[in-house]
């Protein structure tokens, strides 16, 4: 564990975790988590990659042990994009090389791509099921999700009985979006360990639901944003087969999101592509760490 302080350049103080040894011949992989999660949820994936790579993950603003501003504007996706650029620059300096790849989950991929627009980079961007919101999803849908998240925070105001209960609570909240019956036990335990704290006998989430709600409220329609822009980066976009839609709407949702994904990679460097991921949902990092590690390994290694 280590911290990097970007307050002198307009940023915040962030916590980072590292797995594996920084050996010259191994890959350097930088991981960014989804909204409401934290760097620690990458532990089951990172432990499977660490034998041949060094893996670094961070707590995004408002998450984990990183600084958590209160103003809504501080959760703009453009601001997350600027954070990302600062982090990549500092990690490159700290490790003496640019990351081979950045692996993002959910909104972290959208914000990283926003940050990378017009900024050439040698690293690959591996986007695990990014949000890919359309205009409706970035307005009405975003506000609906933010409102629901605030209501959830009200229900959780008393905290949790134990650290284990934190993991069970996460599984309960995410269940409708899962392709599997449950979260992977390692991932559930990692979130509980790194994403919560003991407050006089009650366990509370490090990422406040109010901050999570602001992330949703600040959504950007990525395809629209990229419409007049080119991103000078190779992007490998992984699209989970289980979409966040009703059972009867799965087929149409997958088709819509595939079209959005194809439009995103069309704005990136040649060689960028979309990869279907069968048997997993949006929270694939928490559902099947072994599957994710294998996919990351393959995408990082391919030329």
Proportion of the chain above pLDDT 70, given as a percent: 99
pLDDT tens track for 247-275: 999 999 999 999 999 999 999 999 999 99
pLDDT tens track for 197-240: 999 999 999 999 999 999 999 999 999 999 999 999 999 999 99
pLDDT grade for 281, boundaries at 50, 70 and 90: very high
pLDDT above 90: residue 118: no
The CA-based dihedral angle spanning residues 207, 210, 214, 215, taken in that order and rounded to the nearest 10 degrees:
30
Output the pLDDT for position 24.
Answer: 61
- Residue ranges of domains in the chain: 2-301
pLDDT above 70: residue 31: yes
3.40.640.10, 2.60.120.380, 3.40.50.1820, 3.40.630.10: CATH of 2-301: 3.40.50.1820
d(CA 176, CA 148): 14
């Amino acid at each position: 564990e280590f911290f990097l302080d970007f307050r002198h350049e307009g940023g915040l103080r962030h916590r980072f975790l590292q797995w594996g040894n920084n050996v010259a011949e191994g890959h350097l992989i930088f991981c960014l988590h989804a909204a409401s999660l934290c760097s620690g949820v990458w532990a089951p994936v990172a432990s499977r990659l660490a034998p041949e790579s060094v893996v670094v993950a961070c707590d995004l603003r408002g998450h984990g042990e990183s600084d958590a501003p209160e103003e809504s504007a501080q959760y703009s996706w453009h601001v997350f994009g600027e954070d990302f650029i600062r982090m990549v620059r500092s990690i490159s300096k700290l490790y003496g090389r640019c990351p081979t790849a950045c692996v993002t989950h959910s909104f972290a991929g959208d914000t990283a791509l926003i940050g990378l627009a017009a900024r050439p980079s040698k690293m690959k961007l591996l986007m695990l099921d990014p949000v890919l919101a359309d205009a409706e999803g970035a307005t009405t849908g975003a506000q609906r999700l933010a409102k629901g998240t605030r209501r959830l925070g009200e229900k959780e105001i008393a905290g949790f009985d134990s650290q284990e209960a934190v993991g069970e609570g996460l599984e309960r909240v995410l269940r409708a979006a899962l392709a599997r019956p449950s979260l992977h036990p390692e991932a559930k335990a990692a979130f509980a360990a790194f994403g919560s704290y003991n407050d006089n006998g009650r366990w509370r989430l490090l990422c406040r639901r109010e901050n999570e709600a602001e992330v949703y409220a600040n959504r950007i329609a990525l395809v629209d944003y990229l419409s007049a822009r080119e991103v000078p980066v190779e992007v490998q976009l992984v699209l989970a087969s289980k979409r966040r839609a009703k059972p009867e709407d799965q087929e149409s949702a997958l088709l819509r999101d595939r079209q959005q994904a194809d439009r995103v990679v069309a704005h990136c460097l040649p060689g960028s592509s979309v990869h279907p991921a069968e048997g997993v949902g949006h929270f694939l990092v928490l559902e099947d760490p072994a599957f994710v590690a294998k996919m990351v390994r393959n995408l990082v290694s391919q030329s």
